[in-house]
Amino acid sequence: MRRAVLSALIALAPLAARAAPEDAHVRALAAGYKASFLCSGLFNAHQSEAQVAADDLEGIYPDYQALVRTLPAKVDARAHTVSVAFDARLPPRIAAWRPGLGCSALPIGAGPEVIARLPRLAAKPPPGDADARPWPNGDAAATAPAPPKLAAAVARMFDPAATPGGAATTAVLVIRGGKILGERYRPGFDLHTPQRTWSAAKSLTATVVGRAAQLGLVKVEAPANIPEWRTPGDPRARITLAQLMHMGSGLWTNGPGNRTDEAYLGGAAVTQTATAMPLEAQPGTRWRYANNDTLLATRSVRAALGDGQKAIDFPFTQVLWPLGMRHTTPETDWQGNYILSSQVWTTARDLARLALLYQNDGVWGGRRLLPAGWSKFVATPAPAQPETAATGGPGYGAFFWLMGPRQGLPEGTYYMNGNRGQYVFIVPSKQVILVRRGFDAAGGPRFDEARFAREMLAALD
C-alpha cells in the first residue's frame, strides 16, 4: 500500500511543479525569450527597443507573455548584448550578438565570460555593393510594370477590415517571371528590414541539405549522420535524411508541434536536446511536425563537414551569398549548431531569392547549386501525411508545405510556412512567387494564406 501511494505521489510531482504559480524554469525561459528577441531585433534588424517590444515581444506564447512584459532588460549597445534578470540567485539570461551569426542565448546560469567562446563567422562576403547589382543578385532593376488590379489587391493584405490579420502584415511581395510586380511594406519596414522567419527557415534547411547533396557530402536516402547516435545498437541510427525532411523520423516529441523551448530560449545546445529524443514509431510510417527533425537534418550536415569552422561558414559560402541573400542572419546555439528550424532573420526579398532558386530547379546564374530534380523532391508528398490533409488541409513535402486545387490554387503549388504569418508561395505553373510577412498574434485573427495566394493570382490575370 505504501509503495502504491509513493508511486502515485511521484507520478503527480511533475503535474504539481507545472501548476506552481512561480516556476523558476519558466522564468528563466521567459527571460531567455526577451533577451534573445530583443538582441536580434536591435542588432540584426537595427530597430528600436520600443519597436521590438511592440512587435516581437507581444502576441507571443501565453505562458511567457506576462513575464516578458515585466522582467527587466539591460542593453549594452557597445558589447552587443542584452541581459534579463530573472532570479536573484543566478546570473541574468544573456544573449550576445556576433556579425553574420546574430544572437546566441547563453545557457541558464552562464555569465558573460562565455561570450568569448561563442562561434564566429570566418568567411568574408564577396566584395562590392550588393544593392547596386541587378536583381536578383542585388536590388537594382528589380521591378516591372504591374497589372492594374495588383496594387489594390496588395493593399488589402494590410487592411484588417478586408483581411483578417491584415493589421499585422509587414510586407507583401509579388513576383512573376523573375520580376517584382508588387511590393509594399508597413511603416517602419523596407526591403532591407529583416524579421524572424520562424518555421519558414525549415525550407532554408532543405536548401542547405540540397547543397550538401549536390557537393556529394550527404546522401538523402542514407541514414542521417548523427554522431550522438553512433553507439552500436542505437535504433535511431537507421533514420534517413529524407525521413527527417518528411517529418517522418518516428522520434518522440513533447506533443504535436514539438516546441523546442530549451534550445530556442533556454540556451541548451541542439546536440543536447534534439539528439536525445527516443524512437516512438517506425521511421517513415508516421507524419508528425517536429522542430527536432529539422535540427537533426542540420546537425547531419554539420557532422558531414567536420563540426569545425567549415560547417559554420557553409550556409553563407554555399547558399546565402551565391543567391545574393546579404540581409539574412542564421543564428546558432552557443556551441555552434545552427537553429535552422526557426531562428533565422531575413527580408521579404531574400526569401523571394530563395524561392527563385526553387522555381529555377536549383540553378542560379547558370550554376547548379541543388541536385537536378530537387525542387520536385521537396514538393512531392511525403510517404506519410498530416491527418488534416485528408480533409482539405495542406499536405507536406520535404520541409515545404503543399497546396493545390483543393485550396483553389494551381496544381503543384508549394510554400514555406512560419509562425506569426510568414508565407512564401511558389506557383510553378504560373512562374509566380508570393511573399507575406507579419506579426500575427497567438489567439488573434488568423491570416488566411490560401486566400492570400488566390487573391494575388487573380489580380495577376
pLDDT single digits (tens) 120-161: 999 999 998 888 999 999 999 999 999 999 999 999 999 999
Assigned domain for 5 exists: no
Position 5 scores a pLDDT of 32
Q: What is the 3-state secondary structure (H, E, C) of the chain?
A: CHHHHHHHHHHHHHHHHHHCCCCHHHHHHHHHHHHHHHHHHHHCCCCCHHHHHHHCCCCCCHHHHHHHHHCCEEEECCCCEEEECCCCCCCCEEEEEECCCEEEECCCCCCHHHHHHCCCCCCCCCCCCHHHCECCCCCECCECCCCCCHHHHHHHCCCCCCCCCHHHEEEEEEEECCEEEEEEECCCCCCCCCEECHHHHHHHHHHHHHHHHHCCCCCCCCECCCHHHCCCCCHHHHCEHHHHHCCCCCECCCCCCCCCHHHHCCCCCHHHHHHHCCECCCCCCCCCCCHHHHHHHHHHHHHHCCCCHHHHHHHHHHHHCCCCCCCCEECECCCCCECCCCCEEECHHHHHHHHHHHHCCCEECCEECCCCCHHHHHCCCCCCCCHHHHHCCCEECCCCEECCHHHCCCCCCEEEEECCCEEEEEEHHHCEEEEEEECCCCCCCCCCHHHHHHHHHHHHC
**Number of domains composing the chain:** 3
Per-residue pLDDT band at 14 (split at 50, 70, 90)? very low
Residue 121 near residue 99 (C-beta atoms within 8 A): yes
Q: Residue 225 corresponds to which cell in the numbers above?
A: 549522420
pLDDT single digits (tens) 373-400: 999 999 999 999 999 999 999 999 999 9
d(CA 48, CA 116): 26
From 117, 142, 174, give the residue that closes a domain: 117
Asked if the model's pLDDT at residue 21 lies above 70, the reply is: no
pLDDT single digits (tens) 182-236: 999 999 999 999 999 999 999 999 999 999 999 999 999 999 999 999 999 999 9
**CATH code of residue 315:** 3.40.710.10
Assigned domain for 1 exists: no
Q: Are residues 377 and 413 in the same domain?
A: yes
Assigned domain for 2 exists: no
pLDDT single digits (tens) 273-295: 999 999 999 999 999 999 999 99
pLDDT single digits (tens) 305-339: 999 999 999 999 999 999 999 999 999 999 999 99
Residue 345 near residue 328 (C-beta atoms within 8 A): yes
Position 12 scores a pLDDT of 32
From 343, 365, 397, give the residue that closes a domain: 343
Assigned domain for 42 exists: yes
Q: Are residues 262 and 222 in the same domain?
A: yes
pLDDT single digits (tens) 79-119: 999 999 999 999 999 999 999 999 999 999 999 999 999 99
Domain span at residue 105? 19-117
d(CA 323, CA 326): 8
pLDDT single digits (tens) 418-433: 999 999 999 999 999 9
Asked if the model's pLDDT at residue 6 lies above 70, the reply is: no
Assigned domain for 124 exists: no
Position 22 scores a pLDDT of 59
From 304, 321, 343, give the residue that closes a domain: 343
Q: Are residues 238 and 189 in the same domain?
A: no
Position 130 scores a pLDDT of 85
Residue 295 near residue 259 (C-beta atoms within 8 A): no
Q: Are residues 234 and 335 in the same domain?
A: yes
**In Å, how far are 194, 334, 415 from 345, measured between CA atoms?**
5, 17, 18
Position 258 scores a pLDDT of 76
d(CA 355, CA 453): 15
Q: Are residues 182 and 229 in the same domain?
A: no
Assigned domain for 294 exists: yes
Assigned domain for 9 exists: no
Q: Are residues 205 and 338 in the same domain?
A: yes
pLDDT single digits (tens) 352-373: 999 999 999 999 999 999 999 9
Q: Are residues 363 and 447 in the same domain?
A: yes
User: Comparing C-alpha atoms, which of 316, 268, 307, 272 is closest to residue 98?
Assistant: 316
Asked if the model's pLDDT at residue 260 lies above 90, the reply is: yes
C-alpha 111: how far from chain center = 27
pLDDT single digits (tens) 50-84: 999 999 999 999 999 999 999 999 999 999 999 99
Q: Are residues 212 and 248 in the same domain?
A: yes
Q: Which residues of 378-399 are buried (b: 16+ CB within 10 A; e: fewer)?
A: bbbebebbbeebeeebbbbbbb
Q: Are residues 252 and 315 in the same domain?
A: yes
Assigned domain for 79 exists: yes
